[in-house]
Amino acid sequence: MIGLLVKSIIVGALCGFAVGAGAARMFFAPKVMAAGAFRTIGELNACMGDPVSHISFGLSYMLNSWANNIAYGGMQQDFLHRTVPNISAGLLLLKNKKVEETLYDPFKMAVMGGIVGAVCYALMNCTGSLVPSFVTDKMMEVFTPAADYLLIVMQILYLIACLDNGKHTGIWGLILGSISYLATGNACAGLILGILTGKTIEDHGYKNKVSITFIVLMVVIWGYICYARGFVGNAITAFSQLSQLFGQ
């Protein structure tokens, strides 16, 4: 239990710190916003700076995240998208109602997000470990197929978003989405990065330093992922077998 508690605090603090800073940073974002950000910033704005609304909204999704945590032992996306940013914002707003000095401050949100992430994630994991194993097994039978279906839907939606946002996002979305699916079994990460890469190229052109840096970064990231996942070795083996087949 002690080991689980320490690991949960570390993971929760790191994730919460990053999410808190990112949530505040969205309020300074340009007109074109990254995929997925619309949900978090929209819900933060909907609470209209009211601390009770932020905290109650975040806690409501923490219960949902806790149930998913029991079912398959993972950090559910609602925990990062909704629980951490809203509870952090609510706690900061309890002392100061000016959103410009609290919710819009990346440093304050990062620190509070780290605290909220550490406490809430440790709470979810430690209480979840007390649930009898037969309950967890039953929940896994229900949640796992549902999560698989949801993943398929999300991949389709991101693919449509790539194709719908122009030639550059469509091309890069298909390329990185395909690599992501082949390497990890999930195309979402590649499709999202494809949108970011395509939009960067669309705004600056291929010869701009920002675009070149982004393209090199994508090559390095996905090259490392493919190598670490063993995809490169499997691809080489498959192509060698294919060449032998045609050679015969």
Higher pLDDT, 192 or 52: 52
Is residue 125 a contact partner of residue 8, using CB atoms and an 8 Å limit? Answer: yes
Is residue 81 a contact partner of residue 37, using CB atoms and an 8 Å limit? Answer: no
Percent of the chain at pLDDT > 90 equals 12
* Closest by CA position to 195, among listed 226, 166, 223, 225: 166
What's the CA gap between 121 and 126, in Å, rounded?
8
pLDDT at 153 over 90: no
Q: What is the pLDDT of residue 133?
A: 63
* Closest by CA position to 190, among listed 205, 206, 169: 169
What's the CA gap between 183 and 204, in Å, rounded?
29
pLDDT at 68 over 90: no
Average pLDDT, the chain: 80
Q: What is the pLDDT of residue 4?
A: 75
DSSP 8-state class, residue 79: I
pLDDT at 189 over 90: no
Exposure string over 183-197, b if 16+ CB within 10 A, otherwise e: bbeebbbbbbbbbbb
55, amino acid identity? I
Is residue 100 a contact partner of residue 39, using CB atoms and an 8 Å limit? Answer: no
Output the CA angle 147-53-154, nearest 5 degrees: 20
Is residue 58 a contact partner of residue 44, using CB atoms and an 8 Å limit? Answer: no
pLDDT at 32 over 60: no
DSSP 8-state class, residue 129: T
Region 161-176: what's the mean pLDDT? 86
